[in-house]
Amino acid sequence: MQLKAVIVDDELASRETLRNYLSKYCEDVLVIGEADSLRTALTLIPALQPDVVFLDIEMPFGNAFDLLEQLSEINFETIFVTAYSHYAIQALNCSAAYYILKPIDIDELVLAIDKVKANKESNKPSVHTQILIDNIHLANKQLYKLVLPILDGFEVVQVKDIVRCEANDNFTAFFFVDGKQALICRTLKFYENILTEMGFMRVHKSHLINLQYVKRYRKGKGGSVVMTDNSEIDVAVTKKDEFLEKFK
């Protein structure tokens, strides 16, 4: 399966590097157009109808999210290309969008292409980009949508519906307000990086909790918290002061 691609990046050297990598390492990708600005991309993408767009996040006069919002239709997969930005990476991970970091790692590039091809070949509609756009507009991060990878695809949940997360080797168990559970093939550290700024706290090496669902704190060396689902979670001694500070 051949993928028609458009590259959007304001830096010529970056476009050339990506184009060369795609030509050498991704034979199924054909670059059919390049844009050096958001304005050019807004005309080029609808005209060429690519299968995938490589989109630099930070550009003059706007960013990748501004571009996507202005397109009347998103009928392509997006692979974001970015220098490290905590805000951007958090948003991308939350929506499970495809991205690669600058300087481009060839293995990451090939992996992103493989994911796009698999999605295209299965004829599954991609919701990752739209979820990303929706999340960015929300001031209350508890209303963010989180894409959780499961065995036969993915599940979309709202952050506010997660009571707590628990480490299970290289998996993370999610516990929801409606009593449902899900075991996700990602580490607790991965979700700690995403959810900490959304009202969660890792109170123990094995537990990440949504602070809005804390029902009671019981004193002790580290103490423990009782959540609204009546689970009782130990608080590590090293986390006790930080946890209590959250409730002052």
Residues of the chain with pLDDT under 50: none
What are 214's strand-pairing partners?
A: 227
pLDDT of residue 174: 98
Q: What is the pTM of this model?
A: 0.80
pLDDT at 124: 65
∠ CA(34), CA(72), CA(93), 5° rounding? Answer: 70
Report pLDDT for 125: 58
Domains, in order of start, for the chain: 3-135 (3.40.50.2300), 157-245 (2.40.50.1020)
* pLDDT recorded at residue 3: 95
CA atoms of 183 and 112, how far apart (whole Å)? 24
